[in-house]
Structure 1
Amino acid sequence: MLLNEVLPLLVQYWPLVLASVVTGWLLNNKFWKGLNKYPGPRLAGYTNWWRFWDVWGRHHQWTIIKLHREHGDVVRLGPNVLSFADPRAIKIIYGLNKGMTKSNFYPVQNAVSKGQRLQSLFSTTDEEYHAKYRRCVNSAFAMSSLVNYEPLVSSTMGVFLDKTQELYASTGKTCSFSQWLQYFAFDVIGDLTWSKRLGFVEENRDVDGIIAFLQHFLSYAGPIGQMPTLDIFLEKNPIRLFAQRIGLSNTVFPATLFAQTRSNERAGEIQKIKTYGLPEDQPNPRGVDLLSKFAQAAFDHPEFMDDTRILTSCNSMVLAGSETTAISLSSVFYFLLKHPHVYAKLMKELDDAVENGIVEARADKTVSWAESQKLPYLDAVIQESFRMHPAPGLLLERIVPPQGMDILGHFIPGGTIVGCNAWVLHRRPEIFGADVDAFKPERWIEARPEKLKEMKATMFQFGAGARTCIGKNVSLLEVYKLIPSFLRRFEIELEYPDAEWKTHNAWFVRQGDFNTRFRPREVSV
């Protein structure tokens, strides 16, 4: 028998056999599909371990900017991964009806309940499932719904401003501003989702350790998402999931338990909405929260929107609804403090707006959403902060359809992972000017209409296409209300003006060592 002859040779020469197999695997990776013609880090063509370790280093956004500046518009990040830097690629890769699907990077971020993965709008790779799901909840996140949510945001914002006065402005204590802003963002999510603040601001603490869990989870998901198979051996281990399904393990995904506990407090009310729909003759002055909207979606679409998907929707608000908004808020305040002339210019716009009646002179110095939309320099500052420090710091991966496709003159074989990185797109000199590494809000004021349109089309902090972040409008509502309201009420200064903050790219690029002090702002308007 041939096997009897070959097996002893394999055993005798196993080191040589193993070396040959590994060499063959590496060479296949390098030259597979002809992607070896694209430049990139030397090791990246052979193995995904290169991008795993680079993302694990927590500064991948700077790596990829450097790579594109060295190698051009297409860079190979893995044996089967290409990064595109040309903004024109956005419409091709993320446009409607292009046949692209999300890669296995995203299911790594599935929550788990009772041994079952919870497919969210964000994490699902099934485009048909996504389309059905989005149709059910789309109205809850539409721009027209902002009028319902503003009272909820205003409620939490008022408490946040008062607690800032009590804890910091009146005491002179140093504030870890990024953390404090995340407490605000989490309490807004509580108010928006369950009409109940969760206690982060009032108690000045991480309730149930959920923020610590979230940061740990994202720090896991970022690098593991570069090699998703690892997740099968770790967090989504089939044996562990099976044990949960049959009751041998009671482990519950902390974010899921967090969302479930809050939702259970209103189980009776939600069951009525699922059965009869939202009452149209009982207006709610505080606004209709998202849990009620998700229950209404179950009433409208009972064949799809079940209890599991209501829970998944609430869970998504916990996982994604606070981190990105807190990052954006921190960015605006940080860049203002690092550029005093910008800070002064914005304060003049705010004071003039109050004096001219554009912004109402309220006793609590808050600014409404509608008023914030009439402040062009505020908008420029926020847009420039989004440009300089977008929340997502990794490639937004998509898989090329089986037949392959042309991307800006490059025929990319089917099955290849392609994508764009917001940090790279936001620093394109032909779009934003030669000074792309400088914080300059004026670029948004001085741009001609056609250039401004091009700049806005290149902004990628919320993604693009059908999979654009569904919570975009809610996040913008928080940012545009809190920034001017906080600035009108408090003067802010860095604890150490010459120090730089530290960033941590855990998929979302959060900030640390952003320490500030506040003083009540005394103005006549």
Structure 2
Amino acid sequence: MLLNGVLPLLAQYWPIVLVSLTLGWLLNNKFWKGLNRYPGPWLAGYTNWWRFWDVWGRHHHWTIIKLHREHGDVVRLGPNVLSFADPRAIKVIYGLNKGMVKSDFYPVQNAVANGHRLQSLFSTVDEDYHAKYRRCVNNAFAMSSLVNYEPLVSSTVGVFLDKTQEMYANTGKTCNFSQWLQYFAFDVIGDLTWSKRLGFVEEDRDVDGIIGFLQGFLSYAGPIGQMPILDLFLEKNPISLFFQRIGLSKTVFPVTLFAQTRSNERAGQIQKIKAYGLPEDQPNPRGVDLLSKFAQAAHDHPDFMDDTRILSSCTSMVFAGSETTAISLSSVFYFLLKHPAVYAKLMQELDEAVTNGTIEPRTDKTVSWSESQKLPYLDAVIQESFRMHPAAGLILERIVPPQGMDILGAFIPGGTIVGCNPWALHRRPEIFGDDVETFRPERWLEAPPNKLKEMKATMFQFGAGARTCIGKNVSLLEVYKLVPSFLRRFEIELERPDAEWKTHNAWFVRQMDFNTRFRPRESAP
């Protein structure tokens, strides 16, 4: 009876009803949970479309710095999203046993195989699943494993230096250095994961178009991750995934196919390792690759580490292992070229290290991991590059547990998305000095021990807490080996010294228009 009376009214006054519902929804967003007490862009309080469009603009890292300088340490980025720029928030939000979980931003980045999402260590929001997964593969990424991986990295470093000599230093051709470094990073991932370079450097091309795909996918994931429900209508559409599962759709996620193809070439060997474990009596001078380590994890944890998770682990290496490392390498070289005095000072340290025996005078001019760890100015340059241009350009989102929690003296209701952005954290003057916008490696050498500890605790290049990037040590191995080796082998100059590069924040802040020329470097006297 009531329905018969209401329906005609709704039909007659539907525009008023629609407007009223929309206003009610917007006002609820604005004042929900009392988050309206936090400042931010006026539209952000009403709808997530504000942050969607800002991230779509590819310069959100500059937006977040500007917002925090205008509004303070806590800024509202959406109806249910708060960004924290106070370094003290790191331990609260990302600390162990805080009850925080990742938000739905991360599953947007799941790869897909046969219509099923591949939950990776990075993208899963299930903390128990993450803990089990990490226990299985933790040993593969431990600092102690670097000695096993260095021969694999060295192999690619040698090829990369020789091809740079052949293609650029001997010809005077201009090099798209960011792209060239990404080719290097991809071939390192191939060597580390499958003991096989994938041909990016030797063939000077984007093999299988995988870099182009990844850049496009990350450009999709960044903004879509601000409103994850959109992913269910687009890439992860349930109907499309169902058709894949029953075989009606042959669509294959390119990264999954890329990793699967390389892994299938070793299928027989991997099955043996899963069954019997890695042989201990057969030393491998080239080191044990990650695929073998993942198979060993399946041998040690057969109840959890199955073939799907081995594939997911390899896929994760392709996803995250190349983009972030290439960005970090580009940052180091770019800031050196933009600051000639720093460049000269670092070259002096390298030359003196060869003279006094810290660096072995190899004919190919490469530098080992252990040698690089004895070069304090090199370390300062790399740390300062990480500070000035961290790879991640969005907040690393976490969800406050249902009971709510205190963050820096304020009660934040349960279910609120909170996070820190490394671009804001790395520019805190009370931590790094008033000259935070200046590239000055000396700050890392001049700081007293307590200040240095504080600076290192604020660095957010690889995240923090239990979900710190598991590949951090592998990335550092690549950076600390290639940078000094490349500088000893070549003199580098910008094609246009006065030009600034452009940045593209697609979740990771990659660089464009970084064009250089190289010359063979004569040995220092």
SS at the partner of 1:63? helix
Report the AA paired with residue 72 of structure 1: G
Q: Deviations over 1:135-165 (max 9, x none)?
A: 0000000000000000000000000000000
Please say if 1:247 is aligned against 2:247: yes
SS at the partner of 2:397? strand
Report the AA paired with residue 410 of structure 1: A
**Whole-Å separation in 2 of the counterparts to 1:410 and 1:441:** 35
Q: Partner of 2:352 in structure 1?
A: 352
Report the AA paired with residue 420 of structure 1: C
Please say if 1:371 is aligned against 2:391: no
**Whole-Å separation in 1 of the counterparts to 2:468 and 2:256:** 23
Task: Please report how far the alpha carbon of residue 442 of structure 1 lies from its aligned counterpart in structure 2 after TM superposition.
Answer: 0.4
Q: Partner of 1:232 in structure 2?
A: 232
Q: Partner of 1:220 in structure 2?
A: 220
Q: Partner of 1:313 in structure 2?
A: 313
Alignment of 1:394-413 (within 5 A): 394-413=394-413
SS at the partner of 1:105? coil
Please say if 1:138 is aligned against 2:133: no
Q: Partner of 1:30 in structure 2?
A: 30
**Whole-Å separation in 1 of the counterparts to 2:396 and 2:71:** 20
**Whole-Å separation in 1 of the counterparts to 2:250 and 2:9:** 49
Q: Partner of 1:282 in structure 2?
A: 282
SS at the partner of 2:437? coil
**Whole-Å separation in 1 of the counterparts to 2:138 and 2:252:** 28
SS at the partner of 2:427? coil
SS at the partner of 1:293? helix
Q: Deviations over 1:219-254 (max 9, x none)?
A: 000000000000000000000000000000111110
SS at the partner of 1:168? helix
Task: Please report how far the alpha carbon of residue 360 of structure 1 lies from its aligned counterpart in structure 2 after TM superposition.
Answer: 0.5
Instruction: Please give the TM-score of this superposition, normalised by the length of structure 2.
Output: 1.00
Q: Partner of 1:210 in structure 2?
A: 210
**Whole-Å separation in 1 of the counterparts to 2:372 and 2:43:** 49
**Whole-Å separation in 2 of the counterparts to 1:101 and 1:429:** 30
SS at the partner of 1:492? strand
Q: Partner of 1:257 in structure 2?
A: 257
**Whole-Å separation in 2 of the counterparts to 1:322 and 1:16:** 53
SS at the partner of 1:424? helix
**Whole-Å separation in 2 of the counterparts to 1:239 and 1:524:** 64
Report the AA paired with residue 404 of structure 1: G
**Whole-Å separation in 2 of the counterparts to 1:176 and 1:421:** 28
**Whole-Å separation in 2 of the counterparts to 1:524 and 1:35:** 61
Report the AA paired with residue 328 of structure 2: S
Q: Partner of 1:462 in structure 2?
A: 462
Q: Partner of 1:118 in structure 2?
A: 118
Alignment of 1:446-525 (within 5 A): 446-524=446-524
SS at the partner of 1:518? strand
SS at the partner of 1:510? strand
Report the AA paired with residue 196 of structure 2: K
Please say if 1:5 is aligned against 2:5: yes
Report the AA paired with residue 298 of structure 2: A
**Whole-Å separation in 2 of the counterparts to 1:331 and 1:451:** 24
Task: Please report how far the alpha carbon of residue 201 of structure 1 lies from its aligned counterpart in structure 2 after TM superposition.
Answer: 0.1
Q: Partner of 1:86 in structure 2?
A: 86
Q: Deviations over 1:138-194 (max 9, x none)?
A: 000000000000000000000000000000000000000000000000000000000
Report the AA paired with residue 216 of structure 1: G
Task: Please report how far the alpha carbon of residue 352 of structure 1 lies from its aligned counterpart in structure 2 after TM superposition.
Answer: 0.4
Task: Please report how far the alpha carbon of residue 4 of structure 1 lies from its aligned counterpart in structure 2 after TM superposition.
Answer: 1.1
Please say if 1:331 is aligned against 2:331: yes
Q: Which runs of 4+ in 1 moved over 2 A?
A: none
Which ranges of structure 2 fall in alignment gaps of 5 or more residues?
A: none
**Whole-Å separation in 1 of the counterparts to 2:517 and 2:524:** 22
Q: Partner of 1:156 in structure 2?
A: 156
Q: Deviations over 1:381-432 (max 9, x none)?
A: 0000000000000000000000000000010000000000000000000000
Which ranges of structure 1 fall in alignment gaps of 5 or more residues?
A: none
Q: Partner of 2:421 in structure 1?
A: 421
Report the AA paired with residue 435 of structure 1: D
Q: Partner of 2:71 in structure 1?
A: 71
SS at the partner of 1:308? helix
Please say if 1:49 is aligned against 2:71: no
Task: Please report how far the alpha carbon of residue 3 of structure 1 lies from its aligned counterpart in structure 2 after TM superposition.
Answer: 1.0
Task: Please report how far the alpha carbon of residue 6 of structure 1 lies from its aligned counterpart in structure 2 after TM superposition.
Answer: 1.1
Task: Please report how far the alpha carbon of residue 134 of structure 1 lies from its aligned counterpart in structure 2 after TM superposition.
Answer: 0.1
Please say if 1:186 is aligned against 2:183: no
**Whole-Å separation in 1 of the counterparts to 2:146 and 2:128:** 27
Report the AA paired with residue 459 of structure 1: M
**Whole-Å separation in 2 of the counterparts to 1:320 and 1:62:** 23
Task: Please report how far the alpha carbon of residue 468 of structure 1 lies from its aligned counterpart in structure 2 after TM superposition.
Answer: 0.1
Report the AA paired with residue 433 of structure 2: G
Instruction: Please give the TM-score of this superposition, normalised by the length of structure 1.
Output: 1.00
Report the AA paired with residue 348 of structure 2: K
SS at the partner of 2:239? helix
**Whole-Å separation in 1 of the counterparts to 2:85 and 2:183:** 35
**Whole-Å separation in 1 of the counterparts to 2:355 and 2:15:** 81
**Whole-Å separation in 1 of the counterparts to 2:198 and 2:90:** 38
Q: Partner of 2:271 in structure 1?
A: 271
Report the AA paired with residue 238 of structure 1: P
Task: Please report how far the alpha carbon of residue 306 of structure 1 lies from its aligned counterpart in structure 2 after TM superposition.
Answer: 0.1
**Whole-Å separation in 2 of the counterparts to 1:8 and 1:246:** 44
Task: Please report how far the alpha carbon of residue 58 of structure 1 lies from its aligned counterpart in structure 2 after TM superposition.
Answer: 0.1
Task: Please report how far the alpha carbon of residue 524 of structure 1 lies from its aligned counterpart in structure 2 after TM superposition.
Answer: 3.8
Q: Partner of 2:392 in structure 1?
A: 392
Q: Percent same amino acid at aligned positions?
A: 87
**Whole-Å separation in 2 of the counterparts to 1:196 and 1:3:** 69
SS at the partner of 1:322? helix
- Matched positions, count: 525
**Whole-Å separation in 1 of the counterparts to 2:249 and 2:282:** 44
**Whole-Å separation in 1 of the counterparts to 2:392 and 2:371:** 29
Q: What root-mean-square deviation, in Å, do the aligned CA atoms of Structure 1 and Structure 2 show?
A: 0.4
Report the AA paired with residue 57 of structure 1: G
Q: Partner of 2:95 in structure 1?
A: 95
